[in-house]
């Protein structure tokens, strides 16, 4: 049986994958994400390219296994918002999205020696109009410094929105399990 390897350092993706698999490895790919984010590609192309690069980097080291790469970013009218890193940047991103619709893009690439599956989930998210004090309270509470778009939807971040349109809520957290489960089953992985 082929081993499944998650090509990601994300604790969120690791937790999500553990919902459907009890046995998998994790390896962090060493790629330059900034070079791709600054390449002039569309946000969707950037997310798909990064997911593919992550999967390929780890698959080169483990060609006999199934490797999953993923990337997530926010597309705000063609501008990419990634992980903020600081409270100040969180507040800036949330203010920019306040009262507006953005797309959260979660791209996935699954690679084996013989197969390659690539797909992306596009989630339409409408953030309600936020006051500066609300933004600050939220950032102080959830500290979403490592979250694309500066929110944790699985925590208090849900209160920032008044509408979300998606076919798979796990894609918002970082790994779309509905489509990924189908791909893994197609590759012979036993998933309940």
Kindly list the catalytic residues. Answer: 71
- The C-alpha atoms of residue 153 and residue 159 are separated, in whole angstroms, by 8
The two tokens of residue 39 are: 């390449």
Q: Who contacts 12 (Cβ-Cβ below 8 Å, separation ≥6)?
A: 173, 174, 175
The two tokens of residue 22 are: 């009890």
For residue 137, the Cα-to-chain-centroid distance in whole angstroms is 24
Cα atoms in the 13 Å half-sphere on the side-chain side of 68 = 32
Which DSSP helix (H) or strand (E) runs through 11? helix 11-20
């Amino acid at each position: 049986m082929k081993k499944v390897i998650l090509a990601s350092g994300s604790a969120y993706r690791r937790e999500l994958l553990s919902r459907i698999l009890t046995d998998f490895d994790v390896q962090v790919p060493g790629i330059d994400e900034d070079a791709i984010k600054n390449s002039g590609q569309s946000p969707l192309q950037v997310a798909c390219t990064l997911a593919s690069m992550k999967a390929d980097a780890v698959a080169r080291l483990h060609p006999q296994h199934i490797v999953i790469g993923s990337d997530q970013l926010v597309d705000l009218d063609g501008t990419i918002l990634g992980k903020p890193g600081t409270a100040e940047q969180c507040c800036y991103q949330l203010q920019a999205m306040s009262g507006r619709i953005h797309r959260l893009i979660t791209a996935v690439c699954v690679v084996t020696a013989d197969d390659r599956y690539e797909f992306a989930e596009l989630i339409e998210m409408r953030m309600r109009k936020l006051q500066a004090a609300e933004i600050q309270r939220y950032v102080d509470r959830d500290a979403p410094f490592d979250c694309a778009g500066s929110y944790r939807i699985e925590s208090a971040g849900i209160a920032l929105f008044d509408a979300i349109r998606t076919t798979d809520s796990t894609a918002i957290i970082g790994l779309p399990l509905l489509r990924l489960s189908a791909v893994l089953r197609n590759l012979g992985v036993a998933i309940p």
